[in-house]
Amino acid sequence: MVLIGLGAIYGGLNYQIGSLSHMGPGFFPASVGTLLAITGLLIAIGARSPDKEDEGSAIPSMHPHGMPDMRGGICILLGILAFIIIGQYGGLLPATFAITFISALGDRTNTVKQALVLSVGMVFIAVVVFWWGLQLQLPLFQWG
């Protein structure tokens, strides 16, 4: 992740960066590359100092029949599919709610209530950041 992030930063620096108020074509790849590199560093730091409680947690959970637990992966894929379809026909709000709610159900420790609260929070964040802040050209609601 760090190498990919650094590569994105290097690629972004080949273009004009600009400023926050007047972003150039290199601003987005450089900023996303920076976030990716920082995330990679944080993961590496976390991996170097394992807690005694977390030992063995990297092993995927297994069903009693010896099959790996696929619930998380399936819910994430279904959430993405729901976002694509609902985003096309329903708008940003229902699509954001759907992807968050379905993906949250992939974690066995989440309850339906927790998934609902998380989904409502993410809808609020999506409206503020993407629709209001960045003025994304995806309507909040649409029919058909």
- Residue 36 shares a structural domain with residue 90: no
- Is the model's pLDDT at 136 over the cut of 60? yes
- Residue 40 shares a structural domain with residue 91: no
**Mean pLDDT (the chain, rounded):** 86
- Residue 36 shares a structural domain with residue 1: yes
Q: Does a structural domain hold residue 94?
A: yes
* Residue-number span of the structural domain to which 91 is assigned: 70-133
Render pLDDT for 46-99 as a digit per residue (tens, 0 to 9): 877 655 555 555 555 666 666 677 888 899 999 999 999 999 999 999 999 999
Q: Which residues contact 26 (CB under 8 A, 6 or more apart)?
A: 11, 12, 13, 14, 15, 16, 17, 18
Any idea which of 37-46, 71-80, 106-115, 119-128 has the lowest mean pLDDT? Answer: 37-46
What number is the average pLDDT over the span 39-50?
A: 80
Q: Does a structural domain hold residue 81?
A: yes
- Is the model's pLDDT at 105 over the cut of 80? yes
Please give the model's pTM, rounded to 2 decimal places: 0.59
Tokens found for residue 10: 């290097």
How far the first Cα of the chain sits from its last, in Å, is 39
Confidence band (pLDDT; 50, 70, 90) for 114? very high
Q: Does a structural domain hold residue 89?
A: yes
> How many folded domains does the chain comprise?
2
Confirm if 83 and 91 have CB atoms less than 8 A apart: no
